[in-house]
Structure 1
């Protein structure tokens, strides 16, 4: 028996050897495949966990951006609403109107005031329109005294030539006072017109640049924090949730982060004035020759605002201008930001890691991607503004008969333009803030900044 088995193995040694190697190889290959499969599963789970953690942290970072913008808006409101105080001018118009009424009441009986019937009917029509605007202002929580002064006095530039006052020695001083009063009111109306548009458009630009700068800063810092969190993970807790808190020993120190975020002080306290001056020049160029008693359509307002934007954004040096508004270019200005914008008593110093952060931020601002995102942000915000103005011409509850091409006296539109600045910086809920969260281009740029790991 043993001899036959020995002969059998000797006779089939080659085939048996091949079979043994094949079986062994198959077994080992199966073990290797199983090991690879388990490794792939582990790696896939780790990558999925990392992606979920990154997505969660990124979304939280965008929420932080919205919260930071909201916390800064009160500074913007204090600056722009106090610097461009349209309400004070409207109060002057109200006082001028009260003086005019007092003059008529206490004028000598020998002076007879002749009133043109056509003028009288026009005033009545305007009073009817004023009551409509007043009812709308009550719904929107706007000061009725302010809007009444706007609406009741709007006929002054238009009807000043219709008042007929007979000449007499007794009322000569009254005549000169009325003429001067009308001249002053015309000047005040021109100032209301310019400043109403200037304040609202400036508020939109400041809001846009503040939003862009905040997203750049927080996402850049978020990238460093996320990288350090990933590097700090051990094999044991790799699949656990990455800690949100700032880890000790981060590649960017807490002091550097504080200094870097302090640079928003430049936009909020200094450079916004330069932006307002630029907008003021553009508004003067477009609206200086437009009388306040002109009847305008919604399309006319759209054209005016587009022309103002063209003047502001049409400069070939716009990128450099906007970068200088968002961040200081000179070393002396950077040190001034750290000196006045922080609470540290020591002499400010710009360390290497802070300089790297500032340089990277400026590089992003100078990039074509940022230019595209900036245009998208401005278009979105001005779209919200124009939507609100459209609702003034065509209220949402209007019937079909009122949806035809509607004209309004520009003076009647100014309260709505003025009110829009409050909506930008003080609105609750703030539709402009909601619009920022809906801009896909801004979210995409934030994601690019947040996930740019190749240089780290």
Structure 2
């Protein structure tokens, strides 16, 4: 006589541990089909939880990196134009006091976009990433997570090294598996809308209903958006973006998960780093401690909690943002180049003979410190090859100048 059906907890465990997620009762006794279906539903819930937890946290990390870079680009482009308008105002001859003009079109502040309405419209375009771009990015991240983690049982014991390898596999699917793939990866669609949807963004953000922009302001806004697009498509943007992701994923996987999910990881690492010696010449062979393991379900709990920390915008400072800004010195170098480089010289500045931007030889960019197997190893970028390979023929000179300034800024930072 067969025994009674197992408890719900036993059903759950046996179902999750099976390789093909088929409950044992489906094979032993067909009369327990309803219980098997219930257990299968629990298995599906576990799988959904696994995919959703990883997708949410990974998408938040990517979105935070993109938003950090977009903010740096926007603020430094506006700061640069403010500086240019000040230079023009100081160098321009005083107006004839006997002439009264009702128009202010010759004001250098308006010429360089240093007016409130233009700045407000330009900064509004971060709406696209926060409302549309992240959703498209999440779809790609979710597909990568399903490919990599889909067959991993939530009740399976895995090591920290295995977790890092799986995370790296997801990153390579999203960012690119090789340096060449990462170089041509386009992030612009997640950050800025296509031209035909720019008015839609302004409408949704409540800006387009305000005072109608003047033709001069509209032209300046178009110029700012074009400059932003060029910077996002530059090799330097991709490189800094990868460095930011390295720090963010390292903090999540190699710090938070390592300390909260793998309790004995730090002690095991210390033992490995200090092997005992019996004499100055002979080392006593010692059995290496097995790498600590934990269930993927325990890791998912940590990652789910961290998603709230990653998306924290109400109680600054954001922990992950602080680490990015502290560890990735190339971020400030990138911002400094945008502010100081004259890669888009206004004709009026040419007439004044003013030249903005450092000049110097290209310098190799070092990899950011930190991280383990979840980190993407970045090659040392070449300013000449990177700018020429990714630029149109008529823009190669402009990109090369930007890359030279970028190398100099990294060297001095």
Is 1:444 matched up with 2:341? no
1:25-61 CA deviation, whole Å, 9 max, x = no partner?
A: xxxxxxxxxxxxxxxxxxxxxxxxxxxxxxxxxxxxx
- 1:391: how far off? 1.2
User: Do the aligned residues in 2 keep the contact of 1:113 with 1:166 (CA within 8 Å)?
Assistant: no
Q: Distance in 2 between matches of 1:319 and 1:338?
A: 29
User: Do the aligned residues in 1 keep the contact of 2:86 with 2:109 (CA within 8 Å)?
Assistant: no
User: Do the aligned residues in 2 keep the contact of 1:215 with 1:446 (CA within 8 Å)?
Assistant: yes
Partner residue of 1:225 out of 76, 79, 82 = 82
Is 1:216 matched up with 2:73? yes
**1:398-417 equivalences in 2 (<5 Å):** 404=289, 405-417=291-303
- 1:216: how far off? 0.4
Q: Distance in 2 between matches of 1:178 and 1:318?
A: 51
Distance 1:265 1:178, change over 3 A: same
Rg larger in 1 or in 2?
A: 1
More moved, 388-397 vs 194-203: 388-397
**What residue is the counterpart of 1:390 in the other structure?**
258
Distance 1:333 1:164, change over 3 A: closer
- 1:402: how far off? 10
**What residue is the counterpart of 1:323 in the other structure?**
188
* Secondary structure of 1:217's aligned partner: helix
Partner residue of 1:335 out of 199, 203, 206 = 199
User: Do the aligned residues in 2 keep the contact of 1:111 with 1:166 (CA within 8 Å)?
Assistant: no
Is 1:194 matched up with 2:83? no
Distance 1:451 1:203, change over 3 A: same
Q: Distance in 2 between matches of 1:164 and 1:320?
A: 46
1:172-213 CA deviation, whole Å, 9 max, x = no partner?
A: 6xx343222101001111111111111111110111111110
**What residue is the counterpart of 1:360 in the other structure?**
227
User: Do the aligned residues in 1 keep the contact of 2:261 with 2:298 (CA within 8 Å)?
Assistant: no
- 1:223: how far off? 1.1
* Secondary structure of 1:351's aligned partner: helix
- 1:394: how far off? 3.8
- 1:380: how far off? 1.4
User: Do the aligned residues in 2 keep the contact of 1:154 with 1:412 (CA within 8 Å)?
Assistant: no
Q: Distance in 2 between matches of 1:370 and 1:157?
A: 42
**1:19-38 equivalences in 2 (<5 Å):** none
* Secondary structure of 2:151's aligned partner: coil
Q: Distance in 2 between matches of 1:208 and 1:401?
A: 30
**What residue is the counterpart of 1:113 in the other structure?**
4
Distance 1:348 1:303, change over 3 A: farther
Is 1:181 matched up with 2:38? yes
User: Do the aligned residues in 1 keep the contact of 2:175 with 2:182 (CA within 8 Å)?
Assistant: no
Q: Distance in 1 between matches of 2:42 and 2:208?
A: 50
**What residue is the counterpart of 1:298 in the other structure?**
160
**What residue is the counterpart of 1:81 in the other structure?**
none
Partner residue of 1:157 out of 12, 16, 19 = 16
Is 1:376 matched up with 2:238? no
- 1:400: how far off? 6.0
Gaps of 5+ in 2: 92-106, 272-288, 347-413
1:51-100 CA deviation, whole Å, 9 max, x = no partner?
A: xxxxxxxxxxxxxxxxxxxxxxxxxxxxxxxxxxxxxxxxxxxxxxxxxx
Q: Distance in 2 between matches of 1:189 and 1:114?
A: 21
Q: Distance in 1 between matches of 2:151 and 2:26?
A: 27
1:103-157 CA deviation, whole Å, 9 max, x = no partner?
A: xxxxxxx9963769xx99xx7xxxxxxxxxxxxxxxxxxxxxxxxxxxx965652
User: Do the aligned residues in 1 keep the contact of 2:15 with 2:24 (CA within 8 Å)?
Assistant: no
- 1:232: how far off? 4.6
* Secondary structure of 1:296's aligned partner: strand
**What residue is the counterpart of 2:140 in the other structure?**
278
User: Do the aligned residues in 2 keep the contact of 1:115 with 1:163 (CA within 8 Å)?
Assistant: no
**What residue is the counterpart of 1:82 in the other structure?**
none
Q: Would you say how many aligned residue pairs link Structure 1 and Structure 2?
A: 297
Gaps of 5+ in 1: 1-109, 124-151, 235-246
**What residue is the counterpart of 2:150 in the other structure?**
288
**What residue is the counterpart of 2:411 in the other structure?**
none
Q: Distance in 2 between matches of 1:402 and 1:371?
A: 36
User: Do the aligned residues in 1 keep the contact of 2:125 with 2:192 (CA within 8 Å)?
Assistant: yes
